[in-house]
Amino acid sequence: MLQSPRYNFTDILAAPARALSARRILAMTVFLLFALLVYNAFTYLALTIAGERVGLIWDVYGLLPFVWFTFQSWLARIVFYAGIAVSGLSVMAGLFSVAIIEIEEIRGNRFLSARKAIALGLRRFGQLFSAELAIVLALVFLVGAGALLGLITRIPYLGEWIFAIFFVLPNFLVSMLAMLVVAVLAISVLLLPATAAAERHGQAFSAILETFSTIIRQPVRWVGYTAYALVSAKVFGFVYAYAAYRAIQFLVWTASIGGGSVPVDLVRSGLAHLPVRSQFAQFVFNVFPGIDWGFSISRRIATGGESASGYLMAAMLFVCFATIVAYMLSVVATAQARTYVALRFRKDNYAIDAEKPLFFTDEWVNPSPHDPEPPDPANPDRHDSPNKP
């Protein structure tokens, strides 16, 4: 039986262990690979529109072109920013899928599969998009109000007085509100998937409301819990990466007993097609930024080799690498789900764990002759059980 939440920091401590689940890592990996596919497609399309040498950029960055490109063409900028937005929403959908697994476990359902979590993440993609769009539109409205105020100041003599008189009330308060919206927009990438996962009906407004409410009423606890989640995700993600590195080494070694140098050469050929020397790869294979303690796989790269099997091995190795990042994101999503459950109880005295699961009901399995009859779906008002009114 699952332990009931304590609604404090102790609920978050076990997030790295709880995130080490095949279904959570699988769900996060699927959305992460899709996000990378979208980002690469839009980025290289934008570079093509801008007339850049795509082949040269591919040789430098490969599958991980995590660079803030600047474009002179407005169409290229739109395509590039659209790719960032869609890929970001895809990552949020993955965080949602992991969070819904955790929320359902808190409600008592320990059997939500990765397939159902992924399907629900796809169905709730519109909810996440609507919520983020609403926050962005609110910010755009506030920016537009500021621009309109600037136009008023152009009125000869009178405009300067209007700007000065209303500088504190309401202009300063509106600007503070805009800063809050900017902060929530940045924080929503982590928190919104958890609030959406706890929302039973897929309503974007409820998810936005809970996101704002959590940040406004419990900012210190949320920052503290999230800081622990991010640090633990990086540290335990490094442990997972090192274990994966040794697992691949063991697999290649055992295969080489019977296959000779073929498995070793194939893996080295696959590594040659991956950006293992990129800054992002170094970030993953190092325990923490600023601490020179990690491992490198760049010395195991083979030179040359353009076989089809080498490209297939590169794809397989990249999926293994993606599971490392997926695990780190799963730690964050699991911790955010637990964080929201704890803070929801503290701010509203509402226990999410008392809710019924969305996808699980007790079944009548092999009832004895003395057990009461199960409810009749055709007559839901009929109650044969003595425990029911």
Question: Distance (Å, rounded) from C-alpha 280 to C-alpha 322?
Answer: 12
- pTM score, whole prediction: 0.89
The segments of the chain whose pLDDT lies below 50 read 1, 362-366, 368, 370-371, 376-389
Closest to 326 (Cα-Cα) out of 56, 90, 67, 25: 25
What is the per-residue pLDDT for 384? 44
Question: Distance (Å, rounded) from C-alpha 252 to C-alpha 269?
Answer: 13
Phi, psi of 356 (to 5 degrees): -80, 145
CA dihedral over 194, 199, 202, 204, signed as positive or negative = negative
Question: Distance (Å, rounded) from C-alpha 342 to C-alpha 221?
Answer: 10
Question: Distance (Å, rounded) from C-alpha 87 to C-alpha 95?
Answer: 13
Q: What is the end-to-end Cα distance of the chain in Å, rounded?
A: 27
Single-letter residue type at 344: R
**Alpha-helical runs (H) found in the chain:** 10-13, 15-19, 22-49, 54-61, 74-107, 114-123, 125-152, 158-165, 173-198, 204-217, 219-259, 262-271, 279-284, 308-348
What is the per-residue pLDDT for 15? 97
**By three-state DSSP, how is residue 375 classified?**
coil
The pLDDT tens digits for 127-163 are 999 999 999 999 999 999 999 999 999 999 899 999 9
What is the per-residue pLDDT for 360? 59
The pLDDT tens digits for 353-383 are 999 998 755 444 445 454 455 554 444 444 4
Count CB atoms within 10 A of the CB of residue 336: 27
What is the per-residue pLDDT for 368? 47
Contacts by residues 41-45 (CB-CB < 8 Å, ≥ 24 positions apart): 41/83, 42/79, 42/80, 42/82, 42/83, 42/84, 42/86, 42/87, 43/69, 43/80, 43/83, 45/79, 45/83
